[in-house]
Each structure stands twice: as C-alpha cells, then as structure tokens.
Amino acid sequence: MNVRWLSLLLLCCLLITVGCRTTEQPPEEPMVPEVPEPPEPEFDIPEPWQPTGRQPWELTESEEDKITEIALDAPEVSEWLESQQQYRILEISWYALWEGGRAHINAEEIDNPRQVIPWLPNEADFYPAVSVIGNGDLQMDIAVDIIAEKAVYISEPYLHPSRWPPKGRIKLE
C-alpha cells in the first residue's frame, strides 16, 4: 500500500510542478519575420538623373529598326558582338529607369506598366529596349533613348533563362 500512496504522491507533485511552470511563463509573442533590405543595384545610371516623363508607346516597325541600329552600334555592345560567332535579336521590350533602379517591361504590358509593376516610382522614365542573344545563350539588354539616339542602359551579358538549371534538386554524380 505504501508504494501506491508514494506513487500517487509523486504523480501529484509532478502535475503541480508542470502546472506551475506553464502558468508562470509569459505568453509567446507571435514571431514577425524580418524582411531583408533589397540589394543595391549593380549598375550606374549617368548622374545627375533627370526624369523626362517619357511613357511607353506601341513602336512602329521603323522605330524598332532605329532602336535596334542604335543598340547594336553602342561601343560595349558591338565589342561584345565581335566575340560572338552569331547573334540574333530576341525581343523588343521596354525598360523603366530611375535613379538607383530599373525594371524590365514586356511589350504586351505597355498599356499600363504601373498596374503590372505597382512599385515603379513616379520618376521612372520608359525607354525601348533590345534583347540580343549570342552563341552560348548569353543575352544582353540595351535600353535606348530614341530621341538622343544613344544607349542609356546596357546590361552585362548574362545566361538566358532557358539555360538556367531546373528548380528543385540537382543530382550531382
């Protein structure tokens, strides 16, 4: 009998101890995840930045030809193209540029780009752009000021997204 009473007493003490611990702890505050700061852009827009208020428009065939000519004649682009055995124009699109940032806009989105990309700042200007793809699937994007007839943004050559590794796990052998 003593063993039963002792076991019951131990069980009661244990329950009281656990109960005391749970009531003494303050309620946990919900965890709010930290949102990291966006990285600084890795390109320079000529200073001082002077917004022009340009908005995108549907380009004519002659405007597309002119934009392509200006883009391919830019020194950095023509130097890169010389290193490529072949190249082709991938697409004509748009870039929104502002001090410290840029965003790519597909030609189908030009009717209301701020609705498609709501975070675009009001001071963003829109420039038509040419995407050129060379051998090895390297791509370069060039935004053009058609009025000044010069390139205003030239990306570094990068691997075309069709050649990116698939999402998920990659089996290394």
**CA-CA-CA-CA torsion sign (54, 58, 64, 66):** negative
pTM of the predicted structure, to 2 decimals:
0.62
Contact 141, 129 (CB under 8 A): yes
What does the pLDDT profile of the chain (173 residues) look like in tens digits?
A: 566 665 666 666 666 665 555 455 555 666 666 656 655 544 444 444 455 667 788 888 999 999 999 999 999 999 999 988 889 998 999 998 988 888 888 877 777 777 777 788 888 888 999 999 988 778 899 999 988 899 999 999 888 776 655 555 555 55
Angle formed by the axes of helices 75-82 and 61-73, nearest 10°: 80
Main-chain phi, psi angles of 152, to 5 degrees:
-110, -15
Helix then strand then coil, % of the chain, to nearest 5? 35, 25, 45
> Both tokens of residue 164?
């990116």
Q: How many CB atoms lie within 10 A of CB 170?
A: 7
Distance of alpha carbon 153 from alpha carbon 115, whole angstroms: 23
Distance of alpha carbon 129 from alpha carbon 107, whole angstroms: 10
